[in-house]
Structure 1
Amino acid sequence: MSVASSLQTAVAPGAWRYALACFLLSAPLAVLFFPLGFTVLLLGVGALWFHRDPDRTPPETGIVAPADGKISVIREETDDKGRSRIRVGVFMNVTDVHVNRAPTDGVVTSVTHRPGAYKPAFSKDSDRNERVVIDCGEYEVALIAGWFARRIHPYVTAGETLVRGQRIGHVSFGSRADILLPPTYDRDDLCITNGDRVYAGTTVIVAE
């Protein structure tokens, strides 16, 4: 594999678009005012680092975290069929990997964009934020925008079969990823608590 191909696979799709704009601007800006050109160059490097996409090896069993970050939401809610279900949300800080992964096997029934606000993803108001919901029947994953993150990039479409740990999308520049667990699970089944650090595709949040 070439160096160029390796770099392409090491970052999320679209990351080079952000980086190249900075790289192209940095040279002429450096001629005019070196500190500014250097700063823009660093922004390009930062964009690639932010969109890094490391390989992950998922466990053979269990429901895994959909995102890197800290558990910020654990709550019980009622779905549209009147069933009690547990929602687990992961807040992705700016230093976290932002590529999201399938919590477990499933078939995508729909991928829906829901417009909304752009509140900080760690606040309670973020429940009204813009999101993309990937519905897999028994469970769903919501990729949620934040006050700065306004680019949600799903990788999957309706009808696709997912396997545990598969890449399903990313949110450029931060935010939150939620999983609405199957109705067969309750709080006693959780392996995590609020504030725990988790990693997409590897940290088990519900043991099966």
Structure 2
Amino acid sequence: MFHKEGGKIILIATSATVLIYLLSHKFVTLSWLEKTIQIITLVLLILVLQFFRNPNRKITPNEKVVLAPVDGKVVVIEEVYEEEYFKDKRLQVSIFMSPINVHVTRYCISGKVKFSKYHPGKYLVAWHPKASTENERTTVVIESKEFGEILYRQIAGALAKRIVNYAVEGTQVMQGDDAGFIKFGSRVDMYFPLGTQIDVKLKQNAVGNQTVIAHKA
């Protein structure tokens, strides 16, 4: 199953693979060179397909837990000053996604979208300390019954050139549903009220819609 954001790219990549295969078969006279070209092209197509994969991870929403919005490695767990929306100290948890991770962003909790804003910016490597405030990004705040307001931020990386965000202010969203997509490498920052019980550790691999990031007793 593939994500809808990859439809156009997958079509182009598949068409190019078929065309290159036919042209190499017709015009390349050296058998080893023909096979090499075809294998490289096929590998590139497979990489595109795996990047836009969208595993079926349907869940039963649970208001007492915050689930990982994306797949990737937990690279930050620390108290920081969140300057865009809360303008106070929050507990930040960041998940870094490599190009081989699933890049679907899912709503980590059910609730009402209180804030949704896109920011153009740079394309620093996603783990750079300034990426949260200087890279292309979107900021979304969801108000939930158990946790209050939770902010998550999709951040483009050095390879990411487009962030897709489905969150619309004033709408109700359901935990586990698609919230967007980040194309080609990136990270997601999450901001919780101080004192929130965090259930992941640094360098832990998180799985979107499965790994519990925080819970309410």
Which protein has the larger Cα radius of gyration, Structure 1 or Structure 2?
Answer: 2
Task: State yes or no: 1:196 paired with 2:204.
Answer: yes
Instruction: Write the distance in 2 (CA, Å) between the matches of 1:90 and 1:82.
Output: 22
1:136 maps to a residue whose letter is I
- In the other structure, the counterpart of 1:46 is 47
Amino acid at match of 1:43: L
What are the Cα deviations for residues 134-182 of structure 1, in whole angstroms up to 9, with x where unaligned?
Answer: 222511111110000111111232222112222101111121011111x
Kindly indicate whether residue 159 of structure 2 is the aligned counterpart of residue 176 of structure 1.
no
| One-letter amino acid of the counterpart of residue 186, structure 1 | G
Match of 1:68 among 64, 67, 71: 71
Return the alpha-carbon distance in structure 1 between the equivalents of residues 76 and 184 of structure 2.
Answer: 20
In the alignment, does 2:27 pair up with 1:21?
no
Q: Shift of the alpha carbon at 1:31? A: 3.3
Letter in 2 for 1:62: V
Q: Is 2:173 the partner of 1:165?
A: no
Q: Which has the higher strand share?
A: 2
- Aligned mates of 1:143, 1:49 — CA distance in 2: 20
The answer for unaligned runs of 5 or more in structure 2 is: 25-33, 144-148
1:136 to 125, 135, 142: 142
- Residue of structure 1 in register with 2:27 after alignment: none
Using structure 1 for the length normalisation, give the TM-score.
0.85
What is the aligned counterpart of 1:114 among 116, 119, 134? 119
State the alpha-carbon separation in 2 of the partners of residues 79 and 148 from structure 1: 25
Of 58-67 and 125-134, deviating more is: 58-67
Cα offsets for 1:105-154 (capped at 9, x unmatched): 22112321111111111232422211111222511111110000111111
How much does 1:50 deviate? 1.0
Q: So what's the TM-score if we normalise by structure 2?
A: 0.81
Unaligned runs of 5+ residues in structure 1 are 1-9
User: 1:203 is matched by which residue type in structure 2?
Assistant: T
Partner residue of 1:86 out of 91, 111, 136: 91
Match of 1:206 in 2: 214
Match of 1:32 among 23, 35, 39: 23
RMSD: 2.0
Identity of aligned residues (%): 28
